[in-house]
Chain A
Amino acid sequence: TQLLEQSPQFLSIQEGENLTVYCNSSSVFSSLQWYRQEPGEGPVLLVTVVTGGEVKKLKRLTFQFGDARKDSSLHITAAQPGDTGLYLCAPKTGGSARQLTFGSGTQLTVLP
């Protein structure tokens, strides 16, 4: 059973600040996805990273997949209240239905 850790568990910052959240494991993954979940809704895909060392940018969000494909980070520049939500990482774990395993998430609150 793989261990998937997301840190920090909670993060509260002021609007305009930068932040980084992490997703770490001892297992190697073929790919990893990041989702954002807003209160009262289901998670929504932000990005998929596949190649070790890959960096993807989505406006003010920068995603990186570790060189060894065991970890990933999400950096947000100049956070806004609209970035508030639960950020979940989900590495692909295979199986006949190509299951994902979700981390417990980082709950981000951006204060105006």
Chain B
Amino acid sequence: NAGVTQTPKFQVLKTGQSMTLQCAQDMNHNSMYWYRQDPGMGLRLIYYSASEGTTDKGEVPNGYNVSRLNKREFSLRLESAAPSQTSVYFCAIRIGSTDTQYFGPGTRLTVL
């Protein structure tokens, strides 16, 4: 039981390159989230998905797109990476009525 997995763990991009961050869960929960974490700024919500096939913008959606094709997977795409997108990206799921969020291990992205 892996919980929430994220790939890749590390990535270096050049400005303008594109890439997709993958997130998968084996816990059968509906709500999934993408956050970015920068020093001194806590976790900021990029996009979330309340259920399969639905997505909504969070606090900082500009420069990102997401896809929730099935219940297990929620991907985050950077179409044209910028240095300001250098960050650690976390995927999370919401568990039960307590609203606990269970996080993946993160993807550390550097954009040069």
Residues of chain A at the chain B interface (Cβ within 8 Å) = 6, 9, 31, 33, 35, 40-45, 48, 88, 90, 92, 96-105
**Complexed CA–CA distance, A100 and B48 (Å):** 11
B40 close to A99 (CB less than 8 A): no
B50 touches A97 (CB 8 A): yes
Given contacts A41-B105, A41-B106, A42-B105, contact A98 B99 (CB under 8 A): yes
Size bracket, chain B contacts: 20 to 34
Q: Judging by beta carbons under 8 Å apart, are B42 and A102 in contact? A: yes
- Residues of chain B within 8 A of A35, CB atoms compared: 101
- How far is it, in angstroms, between the C-alpha of A101 and the C-alpha of B41 when the chains are bound? 11
CA distance A92 to B106 in the complex (A): 22
B43 interface neighbour in A48, A98, A102, Cβ under 8 Å: A102
By secondary structure, the B interface counts as strand
A-B pairs, 9 with minimum CB distance: A42-B103, A104-B42, A102-B43, A97-B50, A102-B42, A97-B31, A97-B48, A45-B100, A98-B99
Rounded to whole Å, the gap between the CB of B55 and the closest CB of chain A is 10
Interface centre among A33, A44, A104 (most CB of B within 10 A): A104
